[in-house]
Structure 1
Amino acid sequence: MSQPSTLTTDLKPHLALITGATGGIGKATSLALARLGCSIAVHYNSAADTARELVEQLQHLGVKASAFQADLSSYDAARKLHADVVREMGKPTILFNNAGLTMGKSGVKEITDISIEEFEHTWRANCGTAFLLTQLCIPDMVEKGWGRVIFCSSVAGFTGGVVGPHYASSKSAMHGLIHWLAGAYGKKGITVNGVAPALIEETKLLPGSTAELAARIPIGRLGKPEEIAETVVWMVKTGYVHNKVIAVDGGWFIQ
């Protein structure tokens, strides 16, 4: 007798909360999940027009979608974001912690170039509120017996990267969080993973010109948001992918 498929290919019963959804990776992932029928809660901070346009695109694909504003350097704003999503759309079964910032700094050479306030602000925005949103979403996933939590890290979390210690440490902190969560919730129907991109087109975090950065990548070009989105979709669909941080970086980092 053949075994039932363990792939989840119909996401119509599911709602994904995607933070930083108006950036290149967030937008591409929103559209990719919507094509599988998933409802999408679109988080944005300041790009209200982009969020509205994305919601219209998603609705044209035949799924439920709505936009929610929050400054995710604030824990109170993260709590309000979750409450607003639950009230308007329901309880997310997919959480893509994708929002992030660099404090407008890159190529930092000296540890003294980053103040403790900038360090803490970066950590809170990149990892702290991702932890909080995960903490808020997981109990409902446990109740349903199915959930996907995915963090958007960075190759900087493995290597230190080219931005600075504030950014690299906030991303590597995600890795330890992923491993702990995976151990705690894997047998409860929830998979926990991370994707670690490097130098992706159409993102706001590129630390230099396209030509300069592409020369650092073994395959000779920057990545595309859709390539990260496909990795996230794979993690959502495949229940045997668990406790992994996958570098998608054109071969920059040998994992």
Structure 2
Amino acid sequence: MKYALVTGGSRGLGRAVCRKLAAQGWPVIINYRSNAEAAEETQRAILDAGGVAELLPFDVSDPAATEKAMEQWSESHPDDYIAVLVNNAGIRRDNLMIFMQDEEWRKVLDTTLNGFFFITRRLLKNMLSQRWGRIVNMASLSGIKGLPGQTNYSAAKAALIGATKALAQEVAPRKVTVNAIAPGFIETDMTKDLDQSELKKLVPMGRFGKAEEVAAAVAFLVSEDAAYITGEVISINGGLYT
């Protein structure tokens, strides 16, 4: 059986992606680091809707923890493999660079960029041997445009876009696609501290996006209909471009 793994899947965009993929018929693995209650809520919503969902807690920025979790999952699913990977885990630690602390820089890059590397490298082997896989990386408008106060976040997301384009070329011969989605301002826990009334004036559509709109794009990219799309970055931002 083919499974879909969503990192940072307990809340916000991750939750919406988990629910959408489950509705499309994918057995979903919900990864989270510490918020077990939110993860269980996401799992319960999927199960109540008739879907299949498992919980798999580990810190994507920790290579040893990632390897251990994947090994345990593989042992308990000897006939299955993870065919879809959505690298959604990420954090913000906004600050002007002149005031930014080492930890604020390091933690953001560890979660977004190193997390992508550790889990993707681990799952590629089965995708390549099975000659089918879908990887979707959650980038950001910040990684395309750059946003003041987010030098760390912009750097991590821009690097993720570069990695997407490079990896897509490496694995395309084995029918594995690698794409990125770059959301703009989306209504989630991560943006709840932003001044929505002011920021939405910058968006041609005049509103923040919905997590479900991002999830719909993920669902398309992992489908057979998107088999010839790879190395792309899809912006979902209501017309807010550079």
| TM-score, L = length of structure 1 | 0.88
Residue 197 of structure 1 and its aligned partner are, at CA, apart by 0.4
| Structure 1 stretches lacking a partner, 5+ long | 1-12
Q: Which has the higher helix share?
A: 2
Distance 1:144 1:72 in 2: 24
Cα distance in 2 between the residues matched to 1:69 and 1:163: 30
What is the Cα deviation at residue 142 of structure 1?
Answer: 0.8
State how far apart, in whole Å, the 1-side matches of 2:98 and 2:86 are: 33
CA distance in 1, matches of 2:230, 2:189: 26
Judging changes above 3 Å, is the alpha-carbon distance between structure 1 residues 78 and 154 closer, same or farther for their aligned structure 2 residues?
Answer: same
Q: Could you report, residue by residue, the CA deviation over 1:171-211 in whole angstroms, capped at 9, with x for unpaired residues?
A: 00101111111110011010000000011102324551221
Amino acid corresponding to residue 169 of structure 1 in structure 2:
A
Deviations 1:50-86 (A, max 9, x none): 1112112222333331112122332222223322433
Aligned to 1:22: 10
Give the Å deviation of 1:46: 2.0
- Tell me by how many angstroms 1:116 deviates: 3.1
Corresponding residue number in structure 1 for 2:185: 199
Identity among equivalent pairs (%) = 28
Aligned to 2:91: 101
Contact persistence 2:92–2:190 (CA under 8 A) = no
What is the rounded CA distance, in whole Å, between the counterparts of 2:51 and 2:123 in structure 1? 21
**Consecutive aligned runs of 4 or more in structure 1 exceeding 4 Å deviation:** none
Query: What one-letter code is carried by the residue in structure 1 that aligns with 2:162?
Result: G
One of 81, 99, 124 as aligned partner of 1:91: 81
2:216 to 224, 230, 234: 230
Conserved? CA contact 1:162–1:207, under 8 Å: no
Indicate conservation of the 8 Å contact 1:152/1:194, yes or no: yes
Which aligned pairs between 1:41-80 and structure 2 lie closer than 5 A? 41-80=29-68
For residues 86 and 213 of structure 1, what CA distance do their matches in structure 2 show? Answer: 44
Q: After TM superposition, list the pairs within 5 Å mapping 1:130-169 onto structure 2.
A: 130-169=116-155
Structure 1 residue 216 corresponds to structure 2 residue 213: no
Q: Which amino acid aligns with 1:18?
A: V
What SS does structure 2 have at the residue aligned with 1:58?
Answer: helix
Cα distance in structure 2, aligned partners of 1:63 and 1:26: 16
1:37 aligns with 2:37: no
Secondary structure of the 2:170 match is helix
Task: Return the TM-score normalized by structure 2.
Answer: 0.92
